[in-house]
Amino acid sequence: MTAALTKTTVVLKPREWDGQSVKMPGIVSGVPLDTYHSDCCVEASISSSGLRQIWNQSPAHYWCQSPYNPDRIEDDETDALTLGRAAHHLLFGEKDFREIFTLRPASINGETWHGSKTACKLWLEKANADGLTVITSEQLKHIKGMAISLAQHPLVKAGLLNGLIEHSIFAKDRETGLWLKARPDCIPTDSLDMADLKTTTSVDYQRLVWSVRDYAYQMQAGLLNMLCRAVLGQPLNSFSLCFVEKTPPYCVRVVTLKDNEIDRGERQCRAALRMFADCMKANHWPGPGGDQQDAEYLELDQRTQEIIDARLKEYTR
């Protein structure tokens, strides 16, 4: 069964970022990505990635890299994350690509690139000093392959990924007084049928089910639902995930989350937001074990017990 995407009329009134901390709800253009991920509102703010980290891992995991933590740890970006970021920039035509990324040369001073060579190390050091993320020709080849496959998909041809680029949505949560923020890949200008591009290793249906579960993408939809109601006065009409494989044959598959999944994601966001508010107030960020002081019992799951017990029977005398 496939999901039918319908159009609902919506009026968008984005405003240009004024270079100051956000203090009014709305759709804002021109907020730099680094600013968006920082302490960008007049009061504490959080996005779906932060809420998902709190929910999937713990408040301690969020706090470790939080912009509010003066001792935060800057995590090294993996090749997969670099590819994903670069792909989003190129596929959505974001204008600052050359200010963020640089292509690693195949050779330097007439010699084939090798990371252990002094000239190569110096080149990487300069790129890092200039604040540039290095991508390889192999990664660029994959991005071009993804772009070709995406352009051929009927829903993409119909405008699934068209809309406002580099726009952020902000609103203050009434219950907690905290600011919510989201930065969709694109915001449709004629509907509330939102879509987000995701790179993946496989578009096999079960793999996508696991991906939504593991990354809690329903929470991303749930937060967007909350923001749309707060800023536009109406909920999402639909939320789709456009998955594209990162390697050949770069297959594409579009899935639309059902309303009950978006509702569940919103309830997860609300629970994580309450945890975030409590932790901010108490300045206490517990890990997965909470505040438990004593040792806990641990029991293997039933299936593992059954497998072990079956093998034990073979050697019972």
In a domain, 297, yes or no: no
Number of domains within the chain:
1
Cα distance between residue 125 and residue 162, in whole Å: 37
Q: Any idea what the CATH number is for the domain that residue 173 is in?
A: 3.90.320.10
pTM: 0.86
Rg (CA), the chain: 22
* Containing structural domain, residue 233: 15-289
Q: Which residue has the tokens 């792909």?
A: 87
Q: Are 256 and 242 in contact (CB under 8 A)?
A: no
Domain-located, residue 3? no
Task: Give the Cα separation of 11 and 190 in Å (integer).
Answer: 7
Question: Is 9 within a domain?
Answer: no
Question: pLDDT at position 204, please?
Answer: 98
Under the banding of pLDDT at 50, 70 and 90, the label for residue 51 is very high
Phi-psi region of 26 (alpha: psi -120 to 50; beta: other; left: phi over 0): left
Say which DSSP state 158 is in: T
Outline where the chain has alpha helix (H). Answer: 33-36, 48-56, 59-64, 79-91, 97-100, 118-129, 137-152, 154-157, 205-215, 217-232, 259-282, 302-314
Asked if residue 1 belongs to a domain, the reply is: no
* 3-class DSSP assignment, residue 256: strand
For 170-217, the pLDDT digits (tens) are 999 999 999 999 999 989 988 899 999 999 999 999 999 999 999 999
149 CB-side CA count, 13 A: 23
Q: Which residue has the higher pLDDT, 119 or 16?
A: 16
CA atoms within 13 A on the CB side of 146: 29
SS3 33: helix
In a domain, 27, yes or no: yes
Find the range with the poorest average confidence among 58-67, 103-112, 248-257: 103-112
CA–CA separation, 311 and 202 (whole Å): 34
In order of 121, 184, 289, the CA distances from 224 in angstroms are 42, 8, 30
Tell me whether residue 23 is in a domain: yes
Domain membership flag for residue 308: no
pLDDT in tens, 128-176: 888 888 888 898 899 899 889 999 999 999 999 999 988 999 999 999 9
Look at residue 277 and tell me whether its pLDDT is greater than 90: yes
Amino acid making up residue 29: S
Judge whether 301 lies within some domain: no
